[in-house]
Structure 1
Amino acid sequence: MSDLIQILPDNVANQIAAGEVVQRPASVVKELVENAIDAGAGSIKINLKDAGKTLIQVIDNGCGMSVTDARLAFERHATSKIRKAGDLFGIRTMGFRGEALASIAAIANVELKTKRTEDELGTHIVIDGSELVSQEASACSDGSNFIVKNLFFNVPARRKFLKANSTELRNIITEFHRIVLSHPDIAFTLIHNESEVYNLPASHIRQRIINVFGKSMNSRLISINTDTSIVNLTGFIGKPKNAKKNTGEQFFFVNNRFMRHPYFYKAIIQAYDKILPPETIPPYFIFFEVDPKIIDINIHPTKTEIKFEDERAIYQIIQASIREALGKFNIVPSIDFDEDTSLEIPVADESTEVEAPMIKVNPEFNPFEAESNYNPFDSEKSYNPFEQSASSIESNPFFQEFKAKSPEPSVSRAPKKQVPDDWEKLYKDQSPKEEIIEKQPVIDRENIPDYFQAPEKPMPQQPKLQAVDQPQKTKNFFQLKNKYILTPIRSGLMIIDQRKAHERILFEKFISSLENQQGIAQQTLFPQTIELNASDYTLLQVILEDVKALGFDIREFGKKTFVINGTPADIQNCDPKELLENLLANYKTNQLDVKLKVRENLAKSLAKASAVNYGKSLTNEEMSSIIDQLFACNVPNFTPDGKPVISVLETQELENRFK
């Protein structure tokens, strides 16, 4: 029997490694740009075609490579970052594994033009699927120019699972954000299909954040700066009122390397406890500066998961830093114990004479003889109430005159009632309990309020619905906690979730509008301009026609900007900008479901963004309209997500509760 174990060929081993390192075009962009940063580049240009499926080109002005280095760079585990095992515990460069270029060359057509500053000529290398095609001297500029064409050309199964161009481009932009935010001192340019997406000059971190996410971000940021013996924290957090329901503006960086850390994320959310709108996430851009010896970044091929020696202490530092920053900007209520809030009461000297308060009055004033405009305080005489006595009051001329004119009061008293001798008998024939019982109303079917009767009877004091001048009986509906609609039915009590019901109604309306291309727009009084980041701008360009079919009157207005002139007529009292932002956020979230079609995703996203919120008080007509429209839907029992809309509490279950 022959031996079974064999050494894999290099091209097969490289393709296996590529499965870990290169998952999509965004992975290639990440690895090439990080190599350019490690090469000391001050300017990096990224050129894409078809979201990187056809072309990924990364040009930098770094140190470049010699002829030998250019060839060895494509070998497995070839790196200039580490020399011995101990170097793994002091890594400050972006890349160090030495697998990226070998993995990329195994599944694409790769060209490299590179030149060092001290060399007269550079090197031009062409590799197809790990096979060296050519290597020759070439005249080129200083730095490196990587060209990756036809990604996964020799692995059709991997290429088949790539997403649409819009999705892959958003993934590239996400990786681009992580890199440019951690290196604001480097200029970046991103071009897609000959259209410039980003042109970011070298700047400081705050300006870089504004350049990436828009000018409106400037007023939303709160700076943090904390120095400790364990970690130094710098960066910015967002104000609670600007928190959004979708992710995309949350970043952790450790020694200028992006990382994910659920434990530290929890620290931030708890620091914002009770001041965030429901179901929202605040933006944050937090930079950790730590000793490389206390972290381990060599635990994942993409190097986005990092372990710390003392995560609990850093957790507490994060919480304290954020709460301090929020307190400084009066975002959370605080008590300043250093402030002296006592009243200033002047201390009198012993030599100070204390005088009683004096009131200027006219003791000769007679209100019965004075004119209407007479002022009793016009006299220059002063009156001290503490010095008045009974004798002085009686000697007052006004008092004497008033006493002389006033008649003697006649005192009349009511005749005293005679109490009968047999008064005790008045209470013997009547019991107090019987008197109370007789005064209570007897509850029977004749005096029960109509709104406790069967549903077919109209509710009293409720307006009736009018339909073509024909009165319609109003049904019985009750709203519980401004969240549920309750109505009696034959089998018991029906409970309807008002938001989920409205979501189902809108979803079926929007699906119909998309199929018939008959969305009706309600024009806004004043057009609103909305500036989007590159990811949302690219997404909206892709789905713009379907968005218009839903009823939006929207058009492009400059770079990354749209003007909203109208919104769907089925949506009432919604801010157009907020509605569009929520639509895009929900659309990106729903894209995780592979089975969801584009139009179905769009209708579902808009229904979620515009459905009536919990906490809204509904009138009887509004509740009746929601229920009528709900039962006219094809699937009234469930939302587009498959969550239940209706629940019935059976009469038998109610009776069992009272046994």
Structure 2
Amino acid sequence: MADIIQLLPDHVANQIAAGEVVQRPASVVKELLENAIDAGASQIKLIIKDAGKTLIQVIDDGKGMSATDARLSFERHATSKIRTAEDLFSLHTKGFRGEALASIAAIAHVELKTKQEQDELGTQITIEGSELVSQEPTVTPKGTTIAVKNLFFNIPARRNFLKSNTVELRHIIDEFHRVALVHHSLAFIMYHNGSELFNLPTSNFRQRIVNVFGGKTNEKLVPVNEATEVLKISGFVGKPEFAKKSKTEQFFFVNDRFIKSAYLNHAINSAFEGLVKDGSHPSYFLNLQVDPKSIDINIHPTKTEIKFDDEHTLYAILRSSVKHSLGQFNIAPVLDFESDANLETPYAFKNKAAAMPRVEVDRSFNPFYDEQVSRGSSTHYKKEPAVQWESLYVGLESKGTRANQNFSELQFESDNEMQSMFDDDASETTSRSTYQFQNKYIISAIKSGMLVIDQNRAHQRILYEGLLKSMTVKEATSQQLLFPLELHFSITETNILEQLKEDLEHTGFIFSEFTEDKISITGVPVNVPHSEVSIILEQLISDVEQEVPDSNFSAVDLLAKSMAKSLAIKSGQSLTFTEQEHLVNSLFACKEPNVSPTNRIAFITMGVEELDKKFM
């Protein structure tokens, strides 16, 4: 039998390896930015076109590479970061595997320009699908410029699975945030399709957070600092009242590298327990410094998951540090057992000794004496004769002969209002056809049995179809606000709302100003309370980020679902009989009354036969 196992060609092996390293354009951005940081750059520019599908370019002013290093950097497992296996346990750099550039070059057109400071000329290399096209000297400034064009040009199946430009750009911005936040000593600039999205100068950590997420973020931050032998924590957490529906402002950095850890995230949630509402997530920007030998960051292709030697100790330190900061800055209620006693004593009595209270008791006092004189006083009082108490019982008969007295002559007060209220309620119950159960379900009688409606899902369906109609017909009515409502969001959140601005206006919103971190609203839909506008928009942003609509997904549909979810009657809300009937009638006037906008059952029916079986 012939041998059937054979070695794969290098270009095929590189394409397979690229599937682990490069999942989408954001993966390329992450690897190139980390290489620029390892090169010692002080300023890094990121240029994106068509959400990275056409061009991803990173320009840095680092130390650059020689001609030999430039060529070797595109070979598999070629790296300057490690020499031996032991180096994996004392890493202080970002990219270290030596697979990133080789994997990227296997599935894209790559052009590299690099020059060291002492060299007169730099090196330009062009590679297409792992094949070297050219390598020649060139004139270029100090540092490295790498351009990745036509990503996945030779893997059309992978390219077809990419999402819309909006979604892919959001992933790129997320990676940009993760790198730029922790490296606040470096300057970052990001462009997309020729427009500048971010221009972040060198700053401290707090200023970098404010520059990324908007000026309003500054008042939300509470500093956290703790240094132990095991762990050093520095950074900020958000105040509980600014907790968000989404997890977009949650960042853990371990040794200046972004990580994801559900275990450590639970420690933060535990510290905020009782301070944030259910369904809301606190913000945090925390940098953890640990011994590189105590962690393993080589367990995941994206290097965002880390294995700690002693997670339980880190959990306890992190939780207590956050709780201490919240209490120290009067964010969480605390009990102070070290109050100063001088603060509780008037200043004039500071040096005075406390006088012992005197309690005097008249031991000769007898309430049955006719006359009594109080000691220490000349006041005399005359007590009524004690025998008079017997007069209270004069006329009472001992044998209870009057016990058989006729009580028919007694009259009772009547409450006409209470009687009429019960009469009205009784007349209503005889004619009503709906009942509310547990302030959650509406029960209605039908010919075949019984109808049980989930009031929240039913109202979502009613609002959803109404919002879709108003957005499609574009004839929504608005109520003008006496004073404009100003809401503050991060740059990313503002971009999401700006893309949905036209659809929001069709629902009844009127916007007067759109800036990087502020939105002014002068009109809202008629059925939207003024106090819930910010909640609705935050929920909308959260839905857009979590549901990740692709190119064939309707933004109008997502907007209608999100607003219906925010405005619908909640479970636990009591409804009057008229409201119950209106809800039932409106539900069955919908085109799809059976399910909610999220395809969940809105009502069930229970026939008489099914009820009879329960009693058999």
Please report the TM-score for the alignment, with normalisation by the length of structure 1.
0.80
8 Å contact kept, 1:224–1:234: yes
Please say if 1:480 is aligned against 2:454. Answer: no
Quote how far apart the aligned CAs of 1:581 are. 2.3
Q: What corresponds to 1:553 in structure 2?
A: 510
Please say if 1:515 is aligned against 2:493. Answer: no
8 Å contact kept, 1:107–1:153: yes
- CA 593–268 in structure 1, closer or farther in 2 if over 3 Å, else same: farther
- CA 638–455 in structure 1, closer or farther in 2 if over 3 Å, else same: farther
Deviations 1:555-599 (A, max 9, x none): 553335433222223334443333222212122222268985333
Q: What corresponds to 1:470 in structure 2?
A: none
Q: What corresponds to 2:147 in structure 1?
A: 147
Q: Which amino acid aligns with 2:499?
A: V
Paired with 2:48 and 2:311, the residues of 1 have a C-alpha distance of 39
Paired with 1:655 and 1:159, the residues of 2 have a C-alpha distance of 59
Q: How does 1:96-135 map to 2 (within 5 A)?
A: 96-135=96-135
Deviations 1:343-370 (A, max 9, x none): 65889779x99999xxxxxxxxxxxxxx
Q: Which amino acid aligns with 1:323?
A: K
Deviations 1:157-199 (A, max 9, x none): 1111111111110000000110011101010001111111000
Quote how far apart the aligned CAs of 1:419 are. 4.6
Quote how far apart the aligned CAs of 1:21 are. 0.6
- CA 347–61 in structure 1, closer or farther in 2 if over 3 Å, else same: closer
Q: What corresponds to 1:197 in structure 2?
A: 197
Quote how far apart the aligned CAs of 1:14 are. 1.0
Q: What corresponds to 1:442 in structure 2?
A: none
Between stretches 206-215 and 588-597, larger displacement belongs to 588-597
8 Å contact kept, 1:74–1:105: yes
Quote how far apart the aligned CAs of 1:58 are. 0.5
Quote how far apart the aligned CAs of 1:38 are. 0.3
Q: What corresponds to 2:431 in structure 1?
A: 457
- CA 52–575 in structure 1, closer or farther in 2 if over 3 Å, else same: same
Paired with 1:123 and 1:301, the residues of 2 have a C-alpha distance of 30
Paired with 1:645 and 1:454, the residues of 2 have a C-alpha distance of 27
Quote how far apart the aligned CAs of 1:607 are. 1.4
Q: Which amino acid aligns with 1:388?
A: S
Q: Which amino acid aligns with 1:597?
A: S
8 Å contact kept, 2:494–2:516: no
Quote how far apart the aligned CAs of 1:40 are. 0.4
Please say if 1:389 is aligned against 2:378. Answer: yes
Q: What corresponds to 1:576 in structure 2?
A: 533
Q: What corresponds to 1:313 in structure 2?
A: 313
Q: What corresponds to 1:372 in structure 2?
A: none
- CA 387–603 in structure 1, closer or farther in 2 if over 3 Å, else same: same
Quote how far apart the aligned CAs of 1:530 are. 3.3
Sequence identity percentage: 47
8 Å contact kept, 2:596–2:602: yes
- CA 647–165 in structure 1, closer or farther in 2 if over 3 Å, else same: same
Paired with 2:123 and 2:356, the residues of 1 have a C-alpha distance of 102
**Secondary structure of 1:526's partner?**
strand
- RMSD of the TM alignment (CA)? 3.5
Deviations 1:417-451 (A, max 9, x none): 48598939949x99xxxxxxxxxxxxxxxx98564
Q: What corresponds to 2:413 in structure 1?
A: none
Between stretches 609-618 and 315-324, larger displacement belongs to 609-618
Deviations 1:268-290 (A, max 9, x none): 11221122112110001111100
- CA 329–484 in structure 1, closer or farther in 2 if over 3 Å, else same: farther
Please report the TM-score for the alignment, with normalisation by the length of structure 2.
0.86
Q: How does 1:11-410 map to 2 (within 5 A)?
A: 11-340=11-340, 344=345, 387-390=376-379
Structure 2 unaligned residues grouped into runs of 5+: 360-373, 383-387, 408-420
- Higher RCO structure, 1 or 2 (CA under 8 Å, sep 6+): 2
- CA 422–188 in structure 1, closer or farther in 2 if over 3 Å, else same: closer
8 Å contact kept, 1:451–1:476: no
Between stretches 35-44 and 12-21, larger displacement belongs to 12-21
Paired with 1:111 and 1:604, the residues of 2 have a C-alpha distance of 45
- CA 628–386 in structure 1, closer or farther in 2 if over 3 Å, else same: farther
- CA 422–109 in structure 1, closer or farther in 2 if over 3 Å, else same: closer
Deviations 1:37-85 (A, max 9, x none): 0000010001111111111111000000111111111111110000111
**Secondary structure of 1:536's partner?**
helix
- CA 302–354 in structure 1, closer or farther in 2 if over 3 Å, else same: closer
Quote how far apart the aligned CAs of 1:507 are. 0.9
Q: How does 1:536-551 map to 2 (within 5 A)?
A: 536-551=493-508
Please say if 1:567 is aligned against 2:545. Answer: no
8 Å contact kept, 1:527–1:565: yes
Paired with 1:34 and 1:354, the residues of 2 have a C-alpha distance of 77
Paired with 2:559 and 2:392, the residues of 1 have a C-alpha distance of 87
Q: What corresponds to 2:586 in structure 1?
A: 629
8 Å contact kept, 1:477–1:624: no
* Count of aligned pairs: 582
Quote how far apart the aligned CAs of 1:492 are. 6.5
- CA 457–293 in structure 1, closer or farther in 2 if over 3 Å, else same: same
**Secondary structure of 2:431's partner?**
coil
- CA 126–450 in structure 1, closer or farther in 2 if over 3 Å, else same: same
Quote how far apart the aligned CAs of 1:654 are. 7.9
**Secondary structure of 1:575's partner?**
helix
In terms of Rg, which structure is larger? 1
Paired with 1:39 and 1:288, the residues of 2 have a C-alpha distance of 23
Between stretches 280-289 and 543-552, larger displacement belongs to 543-552
- CA 103–386 in structure 1, closer or farther in 2 if over 3 Å, else same: same
Q: Which amino acid aligns with 1:633?
A: C
Paired with 1:353 and 1:421, the residues of 2 have a C-alpha distance of 58
Paired with 1:523 and 1:119, the residues of 2 have a C-alpha distance of 66
Q: How does 1:409-448 map to 2 (within 5 A)?
A: 417=395, 419=397, 423=401, 426=404
Deviations 1:261-318 (A, max 9, x none): 1111111112211221121100011111000000000011110010000111111111
**Secondary structure of 1:528's partner?**
strand
Paired with 2:117 and 2:521, the residues of 1 have a C-alpha distance of 51
